[in-house]
Amino acid sequence: VLARGSGEKVVDNITRKDRDDKPDLIVLTPTCTSSILQEDLGNFVKRASETTSSDVLLADVNHYRFNEYQAADRTLAQIVQLYMEKAKDAGVTVEKSKKPSANIIGTFTLGFHNSHDCRELKRMLRDMGIETNIVIPEGASVHDLHKMNRAWFNIVPYREIGHMAAKYLKEEYNMPIVDTTPFGIGQTAKFVRELAELCKSQGYDGFDFEEYIDEQTRFVSQAAWFARSIDCQNLTDKRAVVFGDATHAAGMTRVLAREMGIKVVCAGTFCKHDEEWFREQVAGLCDETLVTDDHTQVADMIARLEPAAIFGTQMERHIGKRLDVPCGVISTPVHIQNFPLTYRPFLGYEGTNQIADLTYNSFTLGMEDHLIEIFGGHDTKEISSDSLSSAGETESAIPWSPDGLAELSKIPGFVRGKIKKKTETYAVANNCKEITAEVIFAAKEAVGA
């Protein structure tokens, strides 16, 4: 708990870090305690700035009002504003680039495949004759930030971080924003057309953007071809659940529903602050929408809907393991395994291939289950609870008769768990004392099978 003398400690710590590490910028962030006690951190920063060679900035965030994404977005915007205004006050002027150029705002080293996405975006820009001016925050120095208005426009690939900085640059320097996320074939084409419109409005007409879309769709992306293949047709009407940050969950829902014909039974996000945008993006593409940061609600939803595959975060991957449902990870929070050394972007035309591979490989196909049945394997776990939040409770304690188990064993492995669960539910509802083959047949008739 901060007590008398805390201000001196803060100032001393800032001064020490400046002396020992010689950083360009020191950011002081409020804590829960300092917010409760309403400590005058702004005064601490002002005092420390008088004795340090580093720039010192107080992050304008409140732990009780903003989540991590919001705090990062606000802090990044503050840093951009600090150095843009610092250069302006010093009389530094920056001219627009002669060739089309863009800033990429919001890519983080620890973001989900952000480094790969950034590499793909830079490749696409280079192909179209557009220079990459500055990428922030990854790969940039604070001393380069004043050059941001050299670019013709700003690209914000993710909803979560970068919008506040881009909005500031638009208001102060009239820099257009491209915030369409190039996730999937359709959205990538839309992204390229937005770039084309901005470039042409400023006099650049030396590139055929429509021809580029056609060539990249046919020769770089294999997703359009895959969508027409028999392999993808085998996925038609498969049931999937999507959950993650707003950007990736909305993008994945759109790709599954529109480009692959997969039925999304629920699309959800933990970004409650962006709920309105998310619901608008997935409207008409899924049966249900869930906006929550409570993982137990997500677990119960997945158990209730019984999807064939999940596309979510590392948390949904753990839920999928408990339910024996395969999961493809599409969003943070993630594990170290989701930082691959190989090139695996999710954005752009190369990203469409990664999405197609992840989608196909995340479903357990009939032949795979058949081979597991023949040679033995791991998928022997049965789930008989509608709710994971009540872990340890079983839905039915009704015993199975030998002829019931024999009949159950005849059912293909990839649907056996669901048939077993539905039969047990039927048995409980009809007060059966034992689950026999006749009960299985009756349960099938009850659902019209």
| Catalytic sites, residue numbers | 231
DSSP for 69-107, please give it. Answer: HHHHHHHHHHHHHHHHHHHHHTT---PPPSS-EEEEEEE
DSSP state of 400: B
Rounded CA separation 306/241 (Å): 9
Q: At what angle do helices 185-201 and 348-362 cross, to 10 degrees?
A: 170
E strand spans, 76-230: 101-107, 131-137, 153-155, 177-178
Burial 371-381 (b: 16+ CB within 10 A, else e): ebeeeeeebee
* Adjacency order of strands within the sheet including 153-155: 131-137, 101-107, 153-155, 177-178
Q: Which amino acid is at 66?
A: F
- DSSP-based three-state secondary structure for 55: strand
Pick from 165, 200, 194, 298: nearest CA to 243: 298
Residue pair 351/117 in contact (Cβ under 8 Å)? The answer is yes
Residue pair 188/214 in contact (Cβ under 8 Å)? The answer is no
Instruction: Find tokens 């420390």 and name the residue.
Output: 48
Token pair of 360, please?
């196909």
Token pair of 317, please?
């991957």
For 91: left if phi > 0, alpha if psi spans -120 to 50, otherwise beta; the answer is left
Rounded CA separation 177/165 (Å): 10
